[in-house]
Structure 1
Amino acid sequence: MKLRHWQQQCVTTALSLYQTQNHFFCLATPGAGKTVMAASLTKQMLLSKKIDFVMCFSPSTQVNESTRATFEAILNRRIDGKLGSLGSVQTYQSMNTLTPTFWSLIEEHNVMVVLDEVHHLKGHELPCANAWGEEVLVHIQDKAAYTLAMSGTPWRSDQAPISLARFTEPDNTIHCDFSYGLADAIKDRVCRIPQIVLVDNECINVSSENTSECFESISDLLTNSDIAYQQLVEDEQVIRYMLTHAVEKLSELRRTEPNSAGLIVASSIKHAYFIEKLLNTHFNQSTEIVTSKHPDANERIERFNHSNTEWVVSVGMISQGTDIPRLQVCCHLSRIRTEMHYRQVLGRVLRATSTEPQYAWLYTLDHWKLAEFAQRINVDLPEVNVVFKNAENLNEISENDNEVSSKTFVRSPIESSINISELSTSEVCGNLPNSFSSSPYSEFSITGRFKQRVVALFT
């Protein structure tokens, strides 16, 4: 397999640095092809007899399958963990179930450990590590012959250090041995040019007891009322407006690229089912839905990947590492508003499928924080200084590895009281305003004109 220029550069750099160090950290923008680079580097390490085996870890089984396929194609050997294979592919979740016999392989042989989306591993020492970081510190650090860490978003929203990472002093910013940013990837036609559409409204009325007030923007509303962001993304008017423009954009793209597709990131399972129903009945779009309640989630993702279905609606199942190159339009209707999640969602539509310039479209609400994220998409490492905590400060460290913003976060009333598996189809796809009417917050109505502004970087 012929490597892209950046992939060959990264492999060459790693081989050189491995002469004097055993850990290598690669930042490569989502969609750039990190897995191909990792497999090619592993092949060179095997050919030079520096390693005997390779162990790969990632945050999901879906990413694992993609990793296994890529590695086996490039190495021309199995890495299924069975007798005669060159190694194995595991999820981070499975680490605490692995036996001492498994871990002893790292100490008894020259093993290269590949850690994908390494920002999930928290902690530079045991007292402040999360569960996955602890497993890496105990079983891999100082025991593996070589380690390769990769991420497109190499920082954590809680500002905790990433396991195995090195940090520059005195500002405690992360050190990357090799960086391939989005600007480079767009220039090389590896990634599409992002166009971020921020949706706002000129008048949102909030009624509480005998008072009524009009807010002139979404940011004004969320700053100066008790309306929660989640209420907005679950509002039918907002959903219909955003879907209308996203569907129009996808239809336009499919006139020249017939297999282009779109992704809707929903805030809850019931929210996802409502959006799917709207897409089917009101917009006449074909859909696939993928949630944690689907035992065949991976099969659904693969089916969508190799189909001509227009939209996939997901709640957190199609995120980092999921490779569906035909995705080109995304509606971000999730309640999660961290910069890491924002960039990972955008990354799902960035992978280029042509050597000609292509655009990726992300539709999101014009919340001040999301607008700020959009404006600095061209910055590969935002100014997030790592905060090192000692044992006395452990109770200050967030253990929320989903990194959900605590500000205005509200658990959906339907999720806390209803088991989706117990609902009939009609109940799941019921009228959205009734479904979410149990919100404890003030009522609001959108009476103003919707408007859009496009953040167009890299042009």
Structure 2
Amino acid sequence: MKLRQWQSTCVKQVLQKYNNSKHFMCLATPAAGKTTMAAEVALQLVAQDKIDFIICFCPTKEVEQGIRRTFERHLNRSFNGSIGALGGVYTYQSLLTLTPEFWQILQEYRVLVIFDELHHCAGDHLANANAWGAQILINICDYATYTLGLSGTPWRSDRLPITLGRYLDSNQIECDFTYGLKEAVADGVCRQPRIVLIDNDKITVTSRKEEAQTFSSLTDAFSNSDLAYKSIILEKEAMKYILSQGVSKLSELRRQNPDAGGLVVASSIEHALELVQMLQNEFEQSSVMVSYQDSMPSEIIDRYRKQNTEWIVSVGMVSEGTDIPRLQVCCYLSHIRTEMYYRQVLGRILRINASVNQDAWFFTFAEGNLVKYANRIQRDLPDTTVIYELESEVARYSHTGRKEQPQPNRGVELLLSFDGRANTELQNNIDSNQLYISPDYQLTGQYRQKVISLFKA
């Protein structure tokens, strides 16, 4: 298998550093191909008779299966952890249940331990370590022959140090090898992402406590009223609008790429069910749902990967490490607003495949944090003009994918009412003995969109 240039360069640096050090940390942007690079490192160490076994740890069962497939294909050896296998893959959760007999392997044999998305493990000593980081410090750090840490987003929201990471005086992690999004797109390793921030220019919020207030953007409304971000992503008309944009773009892409797919990231199972029904009934789109409560989520994802279904609606499943190259459109309706999760989800639509059109579109609402993350991605590309206004129209498509008469984006009268789901964040911040009356709000202005295109098409 021919490696990409960055993978070959990184492998050489890993092997060189292992001559005088046992730990290596690689930062490569999501979707760049970190697993294949790690498999090549393992292959080279086996060929040089420097290791006996390979152990991999990763965040989820879905990622575990992907790593196993890649390693078995690349090493041409069984990698299921059984007798005669070259190694095995385990989730970070399993760190807490592995027996002393398992850990004895690291003391009796030469073992390469690979950590996929190592940022899940925190702590540089036991006093500040999380449960997974503590197991690494106790059982792996001093006993592994070599370790290889991989991450696409090497930071933590709680600001704890990543286990096995080296930090500069500025508390910035120092990686041994870095391959960013700019390089990946320039090399044709990742797709050119476009981020669409959806806003509304007239938002009226009323409550029993105050008179009606009108705001010219969602950010202003969120900052200066009791309106919660969660209220928007759970509201039917707002959901319908963002899905209409994703459906229009996916229908356009499928004229060139018949198997192009779309991802909707939902906030809860109830939310996901509503979005699936909307895709099927309002837009005549084929869709499948996967969640952390499914008994066999990996099988659902694998079927979607191989089929021609238009949309997959996910609750906590399709994020970091999940490889579905035909995904090219994402509607982000998650309540999670951390930069790590945002970038990992964006990475799901950036994997290059053999299709004619390699566009990648990411639709979300213009909430303050999400806008900030989009602008940080823009700053990763200082030499490129990346923000421009998109003329707004709502295009309707038939179920055949043929574009019908575009509908102008006139002022949209939307009376948006609350139910109990919308107020979780607010209720968590008030006295439980107080009765909270949620506000009503209207979006009576035009929807507007700002597109952040990381590269010109």
Deviation at 1:436, TM superposition (A): 3.7
Cα separation, 1, equivalents of 2:198 and 2:318: 23
1:171 alignment counterpart? 170
What amino acid sits opposite 1:81 in the alignment? G
- Paired position in structure 2 for 1:322: 322
Distance 1:268 1:238 in 2: 16
Q: Deviations over 1:154-209 (max 9, x none)?
A: 111121100000112x2121111111111111111110111000000011111112
Q: Matched residues in 2 for 1:56 and 1:231: separation?
A: 40
Aligned partner of residue 377 in structure 1, secondary structure: helix
Q: Which has the higher contact order (CA 8 A, sep 6+)?
A: 1
Q: 1:183·1:378 contact (CA, 8 Å) conserved in 2? A: no
d(CA) in 2 for partners of 1:82 and 1:68? Answer: 13
In the TM superposition, 1:116-135 aligns within 5 A as 116-135=116-135
1:349-371 CA-partner distances (Å, limit 9, x unpaired)? 01111487722110011112211
Deviation of 1:296 (Å): 1.6
Structure 1 residues 186 and 58, CA gap change in structure 2 (3 angstroms) = same
- Aligned position for 1:387: none
Q: 2-side partners of 1:306 and 1:48: how far apart?
A: 37
Which residue type is aligned with residue 203 of structure 2?
A: I
1:456 aligns with 2:450: no
Q: 2 CA distance for matches of 1:357 and 1:274? A: 30
Residues 189, 357 of structure 1: 8 Å contact kept: no
User: Are the equivalent residues in 1 in contact too, given 2:417–2:440 (CA < 8 A)?
Assistant: no
Alignment-derived partner of residue 191 in structure 2: 192
In structure 2, the residue corresponding to 1:322 is in which secondary structure?
A: coil
Please give the secondary structure, in 2, of the residue aligned with 1:158. coil
Who is 1:74 aligned against? Answer: 74
Contact 1:378 / 1:458 at 8 angstroms: preserved in 2? no
Is there any run of 5+ residues in structure 2 with no aligned partner, and where?
A: 382-415, 425-435
Map of 1:237 onto structure 2: 237
Conservation of the 8 A alpha-carbon contact between 2:417 and 2:441:
no
Deviation at 1:282, TM superposition (A): 0.5
1:302 aligns with 2:285: no
| Alignment correspondent of 1:409 | none
* Secondary structure of 1:7's aligned partner: helix
CA distance change for structure 1 residues 437 and 150 in 2, over 3 Å: closer, same or farther?
closer
Alignment partner of 1:213 is 2:226: no
Distance 1:377 1:142 in 2: 37
Query: What is the CA distance between 1:379 and its match in structure 2?
Result: 5.7
Q: Deviations over 1:371-425 (max 9, x none)?
A: 11111215669xxxxxxxxxxxxxxxxxxxxxxxxxxxxxxxxxxxxxxxxxxxx
For the residue of structure 1 that corresponds to 2:221, the secondary structure is helix
Residue 219 (structure 2) pairs with residue 222 (structure 1): no
**Distance in structure 2 (CA, Å) of the matches to 1:305 and 1:355:** 14
**Native 8 Å contact 2:231 2:422 kept in 1:** no
SS at match of 1:3: coil
CA RMSD of superposed structures (Å): 1.7
**Does the C-alpha gap of structure 1 residues 29 and 380 become closer, same or farther in structure 2, counting only changes over 3 Å?**
farther
Question: Whole-Å Cα distance in 2 between the matches of residues 380 and 86 of structure 1?
Answer: 39
| Partner in structure 1 of residue 53 of structure 2 | 53
Q: 1:438 to 1:138 in 2, by over 3 A?
A: closer
Deviates more, 1:356-365 or 1:277-286: 356-365
Partner of 1:274: 274
TM-score normalised per structure 1: 0.86
TM norm structure 2? 0.87
Task: Give the letter aligned to residue 440 of structure 2.
Answer: E
After the TM superposition, list the runs of 4 or more consecutive aligned residues in structure 1 that deviate by more than 4 angstroms.
Answer: 378-381, 431-435, 437-440
2:104 corresponds to which residue? 104
How far, CA to CA, are the matches of 1:277 and 1:434 in structure 2? Answer: 19
Identity of aligned residues (%): 49
* d(CA) in 2 for partners of 1:323, 1:444: 39
Post-superposition offset of 1:432: 9.7
| Aligned residue number for residue 427 of structure 2 | none
Q: What amino acid sits opposite 1:277 in the alignment?
A: Q
Query: Residue 442 of structure 2 is aligned with which of 434, 440, 445?
Result: 445
* 2:308 paired with 1:311: no
Aligned to 2:317, the other structure's residue is in SS state coil
